[in-house]
Structure 1
């Protein structure tokens, strides 16, 4: 478990590269101290108040690709349920503080993910 990276994963780097090439500037792995918690979005657009999370299919129980390990099933079921609960708590804290939340699965194409992020940014800047 110590070898599992918290940031700079392949999907994160691919999306950040495309965002940077499009002229979008962001903060990486920024801890936000909010009244409802302290979420750490993978990418944060502080001025527009948009938080982006790039979730791994295994760790965040993707409905398409997530699978439950059969070895030590009780441990993993509890661990993965806590991850999903932490995701929902982070979403609630961010939304109640006025942030927009974009969640992207690791299996999504980076260009489609960047398009979703750009539309969220444009919607925030337009309002």
Structure 2
């Protein structure tokens, strides 16, 4: 099994330019959190998985996942490149495993955890519903699994 870098140099260059922080999906979630006047910190490295948005005092965390990188089940954006497919499948498997581990660790610490997928930011009602569940301290956890 080849776990090295992609062999196609052009694809490698393209992937290198993709943002890790400040994506359109993250900006949309930040705008909605501000509209709700929710206090948060960005990319909280002291918490498992470094959630994209979190409030330690109120014990909530939100991950904003790209459908491609985190392989959103059933989403048309969750494609697998044909070149070096074995490498990509292993990378995606590790990403999903790391996501699940971080979510479980946060829940063990008593955090309410939400996962917002890149494709969901256009659905204002869905986004609003997820945020409402995570921000309300009712003990309800939105995402029982990593997939919706």
TM-score (norm 1): 0.86
Give the distance between the partners of 2:30 and 2:116, measured in 1 at CA: 13
Q: Which residue of 2 aligns with 1:41?
A: 51
SS at match of 1:4: coil
Return 109-118 or 81-90, whichever deviates more. 109-118
Corresponding position of 1:29: 43
Q: How many residues matched?
A: 122
CA deviation profile, 1:64-98 (whole Å, cap 9, x unmatched): 22111111011101111100000011011111111
Aligned to 1:93: 105
What is the alpha-carbon distance in structure 2 between the residues aligned to residue 124 and residue 29 of structure 1? 24
2:79 paired residue number:
67
Q: What's the C-alpha RMSD, in Å, of the aligned pairs?
A: 1.9
Higher RCO, 1 vs 2 (CA within 8 Å, ≥6 residues apart)? 1
Alignment check: 8 A CA contact 1:14 1:110 kept: no
The answer as to whether partners of 1:15 and 1:110 remain within 8 angstroms in 2 is no
Q: Which sections of structure 2, spanning at least 5 residues, go unmatched?
A: 1-14, 141-148
SS of alignment partner, residue 67 of structure 1: coil
Any idea what SS the aligned residue of 2:116 has? strand
Greater mean deviation of Cα atoms: 43-52 or 116-125: 116-125
Q: Secondary structure at the match of 1:71?
A: coil
Show CA shifts across 1:29-52 (max 9, x none).
11125xxxx320011022211110
- Larger of the two Rg values belongs to structure: 2
